[in-house]
């Protein structure tokens, strides 16, 4: 135990002071940092999710229910997300799905940045986005690939606070004519504490 403690002290002593003090800098208390960190704090909690996903042939939506658990990690600096499907139509087997993400405020970019992984995508999806001035709508752009061609394609994740207990996520991709095609929507209701 004493050996591990010595290694930890050595590692911390070897880091530049700026890394250790980054969380306590003036950047963390700027008005924009406060706005973004308040949004992340609001997101923390357990959510019931009603999920609609565009069918592969474009003929309509498949519907699922799931749960999302968002918690603050790294001393409150990052939002850690776990999304799981629980059920679909009665009598149908639920496809295995568990998505995991991390999201936090980057003071140099004055944006939220993050990563997402799930079994549907076979790449590490990087995300970057901004909040509306009132802190109610997040426009998050996420690296993606076109489902048919595999070419790089940016996905838009738009999260809107509807009330203290409700939020809505709309995921869209470019439709090829300058607009956006909605490929999934999730309505969330916060579970009681």
Question: pLDDT (tens digit, 9 = 90+) per residue, 74-122?
Answer: 998 999 999 999 887 666 777 788 999 999 999 999 999 999 999 988 8
125-149 burial: b if 16+ Cβ within 10 Å, else e: bebbbbbeeeeeebebebbbeeeee
Mean pLDDT of 156-177: 95
Question: Structurally, what CATH architecture does the domain formed by 27-190 represent?
Answer: Beta Barrel (2.40)
Tens of pLDDT, residue by residue over 34-44, are: 999 999 999 99
Mean pLDDT of 181-185: 94
pTM (whole model) above 0.85: no
Is 167 a residue whose pLDDT tops 70? yes
């Amino acid at each position: 135990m004493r050996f591990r403690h010595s290694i930890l002290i050595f590692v911390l002593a070897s880091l530049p002071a700026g890394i250790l003090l980054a969380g306590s800098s003036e950047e963390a208390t700027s008005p924009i940092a406060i706005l973004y960190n308040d949004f992340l704090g609001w997101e923390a909690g357990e959510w019931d999710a009603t999920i609609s996903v565009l069918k592969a042939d474009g003929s309509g939506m498949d519907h699922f229910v799931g749960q999302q658990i968002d918690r603050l990690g790294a001393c409150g600096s990052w939002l850690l997300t776990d999304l799981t499907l629980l059920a679909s139509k009665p009598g149908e087997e639920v496809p295995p799905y568990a998505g995991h993400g991390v999201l936090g405020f980057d003071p140099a970019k004055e944006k939220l940045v993050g990563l997402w992984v799930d079994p549907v995508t076979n790449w590490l999806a990087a995300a970057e986005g901004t909040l509306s001035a009132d802190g109610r709508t997040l426009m998050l752009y996420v690296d993606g690939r076109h489902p048919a061609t595999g070419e790089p394609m940016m996905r838009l994740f738009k999260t809107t606070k509807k009330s203290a207990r409700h939020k809505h996520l709309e995921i869209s991709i470019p439709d090829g004519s300058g607009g956006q095609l909605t490929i999934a929507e999730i309505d969330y209701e916060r579970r009681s504490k």
